[in-house]
Amino acid sequence: MYTLGIDIGSTASKAVLLLDKNTIVSSAVVNVGIGSSGPERVVQEVLKEGKLNKSDLFKIVVTGYGRVMYKQANKQISELSCHAKGANFLAPFAKTVIDIGGQDVKILKIDKNGRLLNFIMNDKCAAGTGRFLDVMANVLEIKVSDIGELSIKSKHDVNISNTCTVFAESEVISHLAAGIEKEDICAGICKSIAKKVSGLAKRIGIENELVMTGGVANNKAVVRELENELGVKITIPEIPQLAGALGAAIFACK
């Protein structure tokens, strides 16, 4: 029985094709989200890779910020439930999940079956999210995926004192104008995200095992800084950005 889970985010569209609730047949990420061609393209990609057609699917479940706009699914399920389920599949011992996506930060407490027990989310502000990284990558003229790698090389990170993305962007421009190395600016950016997210995490309380999902989990420097701030080890699953789509594909088995 093949099921398809789709996660239409603010920034990226993700899909996972699952066989019998336990085998990932194919998965894909397209770096455009709600209101774009991303959802359709990501579905075509996973079906092509899995050598299947839509008619071979038992059910399709859609989640994410853009789920309401996607009419071809059998069901829409909230991203909180899908992220909890997907994180539990990827890391069965997880009790806390930090998910940092393009526009929000979610911290979930889950049980051993991947059921959501409690959660906290950021306010409507880009600080601490992938959007903050995307804006800074643009100013620095680098790829967002390079921010983490560059940060790791830094020996003297600079302080980014503004949490507001617009003011922090000006701060980064001033640092560039002052001739500060990009790697030191990147390290300051990652620290700023970690500080913001750890503040939120401390409000709900962290229980081990702590797992991180979402696109920003691919940034090793943010993960390392978060570990420093929280004083705990963070597990990064192999496909962190796909947790929501995976959870949706698991729900589609029912």
DSSP per residue over 147-170, as a string? HHHHHHH-SSPPP----SHHHHHH
9 belongs to the binding site for ligand ADP (CB under 6 A): yes
Contact 116, 80 (CB under 8 A): yes
Closer CB to ligand ADP, 63 or 198, in the complex = 63
Closer CB to ligand ADP, 2 or 85, in the complex = 85
Of the residues 2, 5, 11, 126, which one makes contact with ligand ADP according to CB under 6 A:
11
Amino acid letter, 127: A
Residue with tokens 């019998």: 20
Of the residues 75, 120, 121, 134, which one makes contact with ligand ADP according to CB under 6 A:
134
Residue with tokens 């949706």: 248
Question: Coil, strand, or helix at residue 185?
Answer: helix
Minimum distance from residue 174 beta carbon to ligand ADP (Å): 22
Closer CB to ligand ADP, 91 or 133, in the complex = 133
Minimum distance from residue 215 beta carbon to ligand ADP (Å): 2
37 belongs to the binding site for ligand ADP (CB under 6 A): no
Of the residues 26, 63, 76, 103, which one makes contact with ligand ADP according to CB under 6 A:
103
Question: 215-237: b or e for each residue (b if 16 or more CB lie within 10 Å)?
Answer: bbbbbebbbbbbbebbeeebbeb
Minimum distance from residue 38 beta carbon to ligand ADP (Å): 9
Q: Residue 143 and residue 243: Cα distance in Å, rounded?
A: 23
188 belongs to the binding site for ligand ADP (CB under 6 A): no
Of the residues 144, 158, 221, 226, which one makes contact with ligand ADP according to CB under 6 A:
144
Stretch that binds ligand ADP, among 120-128, 142-150, 160-168, 187-195 (CB under 6 A): 142-150
Total Cβ atoms within 10 A of residue 162: 15
Amino acid letter, 36: S
Of the residues 116, 219, 235, 247, which one makes contact with ligand ADP according to CB under 6 A:
219
Whole-Å CA distances, 31 to 11, 190, 207: 6, 21, 32
Q: Contact positions toward ligand ADP, by CB under 6 A?
A: 9-12, 33, 64, 101-103, 130-131, 133-134, 144-145, 148, 214-216, 218-219, 241
